[in-house]
Amino acid sequence: MQTMNERKGTKVIRSFVVTTLFCVVIAFVTQSIWPSEFAEHLLISVGYGYSAVITSHLIAWLAPQVSSYLLTGASLAGAMLFGTMNAHFLLNKYDDFASLEQLKPVIILGFIFSCTCFVFFYAHEQKLIAQKEAEIAKRKQSEHEKAMIQSQLRQLQSQIEPHFLFNTLANVSVLIEQDPAQARLMLEKLTDLLRGTLKSSRQEQSTLQSELDLVDAYLAIQKVRLGQRLDYKIDNSLLSDINLPPLVLQPLVENAIQHGIEPKAEGGCVEIVTQEAGDSLVIEVTDSGVGIHGSSNHAGHGVGLENTQQRLKALFGDEASLALLEVATGGVKAKVSIPLVQLRG
């Protein structure tokens, strides 16, 4: 078996390898925005990535008792400080990037990429924890079901869909020059989404309002990206907040966008309604998209719905349900029903 030092060494090497691969991808993205030698883009990207990783490992080694929040904040600060100094050193020979003010687009992208890098490493760490818990659950049959559910929750909470992140970053890059106000809005909403997801990933229980706030940030980003092709409305008629498992709502909204609105040329509307119906909380996510049978490329409407349905059954039993209904006027309605007594207990 590996010693603790060997495991730490392996973790450090793995973090540098993954960061390098991530920086190569970023370098290709930035080169498509600002055409120049690829080596320059790679050195700038590596400057931000390695600064974050080195700062993180250095602080963890010197002050192992520091909280994850302080560690993340300090590592991001190190990435922005040393990464920006490196970028300025490499780019000051160009008139367009001779001052820090002119470096603002590079600094913003560096911040976004650094945040994305931290989200990726956090998701990977959570995945390893989930695997360990699954192994323990196999040896303890009585706790098998609960351990599997908790590992799945942590994986779902700690991951942000890579294509969504890259699409958002690409849109921010374009909008920085074309429409700075929209770029700023998209960046603010992405920050809200990242902050909310990281907060949720540290909790086994969330609230309905917190989940609606996350969904609102996600839809605001999609609104900037899709423009007039997307409208959305969130109607919460509950008078008081209630507990809700993390990321029960978001897969339904993502499904409505990806499989309902995006395939439809003229787009459509997504409406979220939460209300009490008898003794149950009812959440309805309705889109006016292509419908269940509208596109063969989206058959099944995503594995996210199936995962959500399995989670609801495992957490609340047969009293909770998720139904996917076709709307007569076009589109799909996802309807979730959960007994209120189980949410308030």
Q: What is the pLDDT of residues 179-228, one digit of tens each?
A: 888 888 878 887 877 777 666 656 667 889 988 998 898 898 889 888 89
* Domain boundary residue, one of 193, 215, 250: 193
Query: So what's the pLDDT on residue 24?
Result: 85
Query: So what's the pLDDT on residue 121?
Result: 62
CATH number at residue 262: 3.30.565.10
pLDDT in tens, 248-269: 888 899 889 988 999 998 999 9
- For residues 24 and 162, membership in a common domain is answered with yes
Total domains, the chain: 2
What is this structure's pTM? 0.51
Query: So what's the pLDDT on residue 76?
Result: 77
- For residues 113 and 174, membership in a common domain is answered with yes
Distance CA 97, CA 55 (A): 26
Query: Cα–Cα distances in Å, from 159 out to 92, 186, 217?
Result: 37, 19, 16
Query: So what's the pLDDT on residue 345?
Result: 59
- For residues 254 and 167, membership in a common domain is answered with no
Query: So what's the pLDDT on residue 158?
Result: 45
Asked if 141 and 84 touch (Cβ cutoff 8 Å), the reply is no
Residue 78 lies in a domain: yes
Cα atoms found within 13 Å of the Cα of residue 242, Cβ hemisphere only: 20
- For residues 315 and 216, membership in a common domain is answered with yes
Query: So what's the pLDDT on residue 4?
Result: 56
Query: So what's the pLDDT on residue 198?
Result: 66
pLDDT in tens, 233-246: 999 988 788 988 88
Q: Residue 321 forms beta bridges with which residues?
A: 337
Query: So what's the pLDDT on residue 127?
Result: 60
* Domain boundary residue, one of 142, 160, 193: 193
- For residues 34 and 139, membership in a common domain is answered with yes
Comparing CA positions, the residue from 191, 10, 19, 27 lying closest to residue 120 is 19
- For residues 118 and 243, membership in a common domain is answered with no
Taking residue 1's Cβ as centre, other Cβ atoms within 10 Å add up to 4
Query: So what's the pLDDT on residue 296?
Result: 41
Query: So what's the pLDDT on residue 148?
Result: 58
- For residues 56 and 78, membership in a common domain is answered with yes
Distance CA 201, CA 199 (A): 5
Query: So what's the pLDDT on residue 304?
Result: 67
The residues of the chain scoring below 50 in pLDDT are 1-2, 142, 157-160, 296-301
Query: So what's the pLDDT on residue 285?
Result: 95
- For residues 188 and 64, membership in a common domain is answered with yes
Among positive and negative, which fits the CA dihedral 114, 117, 122, 123? Answer: positive
Residue 172's domain spans which residues? 4-193
Asked if 29 and 170 touch (Cβ cutoff 8 Å), the reply is yes
